Structure 1
Amino acid sequence: MPGAETSTLSRRDQAVLRAVAEGRCELGTGWAPLLLVDGLVCTDFAAGRRLVAAGLVHAPDPARPLGPARLTAAGRAALAG
């Protein structure tokens, strides 16, 4: 999914990317990135891992237990396109 366009993303993934772009998400470290939206754990437990693996969201900083989620250039392009 690297370089994925919005049309190839599920509506859920598009919504999560918009929430990340709006600064509403945090990622926690662990065996899989834990995604929080508006302070609550995302019910799609695989969303954080999927978007990080696709190169759309930066991987969480392993030195921080919880930090802001940030779009990559590919994530910004996917939302724009």
Structure 2
Amino acid sequence: MNETVKDPEDLSCRALAMLRAVAQGRAEITISLEPDLYVDGLPCSDQSTAHRLAHAGLIRLPAGGVPGSRVPAELSETGQDLLEPLASAA
């Protein structure tokens, strides 16, 4: 996955599932330079993909928070735009 993802076909099924979990409010992320993702309270098994999603600007950290703490993960507008065509196709 590159840092400027514009098409959902550029993402793996796992990355899309992670984005869906964030969109459904089931994910938390750590306040960190390399943020870790937790889904349903459990650490995600593919943190490198979580890091790439955050660095690509698809998942964002909410404002504020203490470094190292877990906070609700949010989709960026770009992340929402990527999932929109998939939701309407389902």
Tell whether the structures are fold-level matches, with TM greater than 0.5: yes
The amino acid of 2:81's aligned partner reads: A
- Aligned partner of 2:80 in structure 1 is 76
Distance 2:5 2:33 in 1: 24
**Greater RCO between the two (CA within 8 Å, min separation 6)?**
1
- Aligned equivalent of 2:10, options 3, 8, 11: 8
**Alpha-carbon distance in 1 for matches of 2:63, 2:46:** 21
Q: Distance between the aligned counterparts of 1:42 and 1:61, measured in 2?
A: 22
For the pair shown, the structure with the greater C-alpha radius of gyration is 2
Pair 1:37-2:39 in alignment: yes
Q: Which of the pair is proportionally richer in helix?
A: 2
Question: TM-score with structure 1 length normalisation?
Answer: 0.87
**Matching of residue 66 in structure 1 with residue 66 in structure 2:** no
- Deviation, 1:20, is 0.3
Contact 1:2 1:56 in 2 (8 A): no
